[in-house]
Structure 1
């Protein structure tokens, strides 16, 4: 493999990611959720190991969502003889994302459910109107990003 083709593979991966962000609402949801996990993690005294776990959980969910989206596109228009198996394949890929997401959410609850820290976060935001506006703006921006009008899938353009 030549260095040029090696570097080109990163460009192809980035292109795939940007197309997925534009066209896949569930991926945008996971990106926003990951952002808020990291945003609120600053209130905790997490070790580097815990941040590694968070990175793996967030990255794993996003990676699986990309794989799921890829599988859905690869089998999007099956012939009549492949229709049933295509549905099962898509369902199994979606199940992989769901199960990993549930595992990541459980890990998040275990890590973040510290009532004293949650109380500190609440006080931090309600003690300043500017902070409330910032948080509200982030939530609105996140929702707008998630539910924005999707571009038609690449193969339909």
Structure 2
């Protein structure tokens, strides 16, 4: 029996949930995306900038899912396939790295604005409790990314 159309979304959601639970790099990218969107509030971004940011975030997350799935597919290969498996894993990781570097360059172009940096500083200086909450969120993000979890590797 063929799976129902809705089932494909459930399977996809399960894959994303597994990646978040078991893949440190996926958790890192999610935290980075959170802070990108948070700090974007200090900029006068319009639809175009938010579309670009969303495409970059989704692109990195999608590539990380592909990379993680390829790594699992080729892990523990037969001895005669070991070199090929290593190359596949390295190339998939390289794809994530190339796209991430491109996104970082685009992000630097979008976000490098001294006036916005001043607005952020003034905002948090006038609201010390929010500055403490921001610092605390970084500790929570660190724990989310690097805390003890079952790694799928």
Range class of TM-score, shorter chain: over 0.9
TM-score relative to the length of structure 2: 0.95
State the Cα distance separating 1:93 from its structure 2 match. 0.2
Find the residue that maps to 2:4 and give its secondary structure. Answer: helix
Following the alignment from structure 1 to structure 2, what is the Cα–Cα distance between the partners of residues 70 and 27? Answer: 12
Instruction: Give unpaired runs (5+ residues) of structure 2.
Output: none
Specify the alignment match of 1:55 in structure 2.
54
Instruction: Give unpaired runs (5+ residues) of structure 1.
Output: none
Following the alignment from structure 2 to structure 1, what is the Cα–Cα distance between the partners of residues 8 and 137? Answer: 33
The CA RMSD over aligned residues, in Å, is 1.5
Following the alignment from structure 1 to structure 2, what is the Cα–Cα distance between the partners of residues 23 and 151? Answer: 6
Specify the alignment match of 1:34 in structure 2.
33
- Contact between 2:60 and 2:100, CA under 8 Å: does it hold in 1? yes
Specify the alignment match of 1:9 in structure 2.
8
Following the alignment from structure 1 to structure 2, what is the Cα–Cα distance between the partners of residues 139 and 21? Answer: 18
Following the alignment from structure 1 to structure 2, what is the Cα–Cα distance between the partners of residues 52 and 78? Answer: 40
Aligned counterparts, 1:27-106, within 5 A: 27-106=26-105
Specify the alignment match of 1:20 in structure 2.
19
The count of residues paired between Structure 1 and Structure 2 equals 153
* CA deviation profile, 1:13-64 (whole Å, cap 9, x unmatched): 0001111111000000000000000000011111101100000000100110
Following the alignment from structure 1 to structure 2, what is the Cα–Cα distance between the partners of residues 52 and 128? Answer: 30
